Amino acid sequence: MIKKRIYLCLAHMSDAGLEQKYIQEAFDTNWVVPLGPNVNGFEKDLESFVNEIKVPELVEGPTFNDGISTGSTTCLNKRVVALSAGTAAIHLALIACGVGPGDEVIVQSFTFCASSNPITYLGATPVFVDSEKDSWNIDPELMEEAIRDRIAKTGRKPKAIVPVALYGMPYDIDRIMEIANRYDIPVIEDAAEGFGSRWKGQVLGTFGRYGVLSFNGNKMITTSGGGALICPDTQAWQRIMWLATQAREAYPYYQHEAIGYNYRMSNICAGIGRGQMTVANDHINHHKHVQKMYEELLAGVLGIHVHSQPCSLYDRHAGLDPASHEIAGQARNDGMQGEKYDSNYWLCTITLDPSLHVKGQENAYKTVIQGAVGGAAGVVHASKSAHTDCEPNANVEALRVILDQAGIEARPLWKPMHKQPVYKDAPAYVNGVSESLFKVGMCLPSGPCVSDEDVDYIVTCIKNAII
């Protein structure tokens, strides 16, 4: 008996119903357009959120009594434009970085297609780069190899670099920026899945020239659909705002001297966003709580591994007491305070050992899928074959089916873009990491609507599925 449907990740409305308040105000004041008080207010809320740098608390000890602040905050001065989608934000950022026909853009391969599709909108070519093993995000060393090779082969450097915070996990932005700055290539951070994730206390999306956020219905907070672009300064913000509002010139009539886009967020959607911002930190904390539950409940299950953020500085110094002078001194030498990685755990993910046996895996891929896949987001486009040349292992598919029958939505990891037929001719620099993970990985429910009871039920279903 299925108790209810547990979805992968659905945003949750604020308990106070503030979303309805702001929406009602929009109707009462007749601001039912892609601009207005809610849009302005949401942008200011976002700016306050992304500009705050939280200096992580340090381990207590005598070596920290030297003026280093613990748990303090400092501020940036980024500007934010609220848009109709995260994809629109990537599109506008690429335009602002001068990407056009014939150009190339470095982009992480292990991601959703929204990271790369806007590159093709502009007549440019995505150059896919594989992942590092620990974070699953773009491999900085392979990225630099790709840059050098593209320069050697084309005589031109890539116009931009697009790292992605896969499932909310921070990328090694220090190394990425060091390489990007050395080659003078702008970085567009795709933090669509990483709202509220931080690197050394600083919000993802605020390190590169531009940062992309998403507020789709399955994200950390939602505006039902929508996104935002984090801009480096007011001048860049004004240009993005202009492009997003059909590039209208300052005349009392409609004058256009450049191609613009209808990309501004609606006042209604922004009203939802303003209410969501009041519970943003609660949502982030809940995702982290669910991640911890999965880690604890699946810790003893052979053949299943919960993916978590790479070890902190302290963990890497094996055998040393976390409160020791050696650790504290190394932290200062490395320019770090505490953790580098602070993932929001937008989605909780697991990998299954290939040798793990799951009930019914002998029947995996026996049926060609003809209907919608992916819940409300599914689109019916019948498959021609049950197989592709790169697909999850049979035990992963079998577990997905079992969970689906138990009322639990689970999905494979993103299929690497360099293995997508639509990008078969795009340059790719691969090391096998993303392909190997795609074959063994799965996403589990993690949103604010997922209760402790739900996590217990999901883990029980997983355990019962193993032979």
Domain boundaries, the chain: 18-279, 283-465
CATH class of 18-279: alpha beta
Tokens of 242: 């202009």
Question: SS3 of 111, please?
Answer: coil
Say yes or no to pLDDT of 463 above 80.
yes
Of the candidates 96, 147, 95, the one whose C-alpha atom is nearest the C-alpha of residue 118 is 95
Please list, in sequence order, all residues whose beta carbon lies within 8 angstroms of the beta carbon of residue 322, skipping any fewer than 6 positions away: 59, 314
Residue range 331-345: mean pLDDT, rounded: 67
Q: Which residue matches tokens 């063994």?
A: 440
| Torsion sign over Cα 392, 347, 197, 18 | positive
CA dihedral 217, 90, 419, 347 (to 10 degrees): -30
Residue range 144-151: mean pLDDT, rounded: 98
Other beta carbons less than 10 A from residue 161's beta carbon: 28
Q: Please tell me the distance from the alpha carbon of residue 460 to that of residue 293, in angstroms, as a whole number.
A: 13
pLDDT of residue 413: 98
Q: Residues 176-199: pLDDT tens digits?
A: 999 999 999 999 999 999 999 999
Q: Please list the active-site residues.
A: 219
Q: Residues 16-63: pLDDT tens digits?
A: 678 888 788 877 787 776 778 999 999 999 999 999 998 765 444 333
Say yes or no to pLDDT of 336 above 90.
no
Other beta carbons less than 10 A from residue 423's beta carbon: 20
pLDDT of residue 380: 65
For the entire predicted model, the pTM comes to 0.89
pLDDT of residue 139: 98
Tokens of 257: 């001297």
pLDDT band at residue 122 under the 50/70/90 scheme: very high
Q: Please tell me the distance from the alpha carbon of residue 128 to that of residue 437, in angstroms, as a whole number.
A: 16
CATH for 283-465 (2.40.110.10, 3.90.1150.10, 3.40.640.10, 3.30.300.180): 3.90.1150.10
The set of long-range contacts for 460-466, using a CB threshold of 8 Å and a minimum separation of 24, is 461/402, 461/403, 461/406, 461/408, 462/298, 462/301, 462/304, 462/399, 462/403, 463/301, 465/358, 465/359, 465/398, 465/399, 465/402, 465/403, 466/301, 466/303, 466/304, 466/356, 466/357, 466/358, 466/359
pLDDT band at residue 312 under the 50/70/90 scheme: low
162 near 191, Cβ under 8 Å?
no
Residue range 411-437: mean pLDDT, rounded: 98
Q: Please tell me the distance from the alpha carbon of residue 402 to that of residue 411, in angstroms, as a whole number.
A: 12
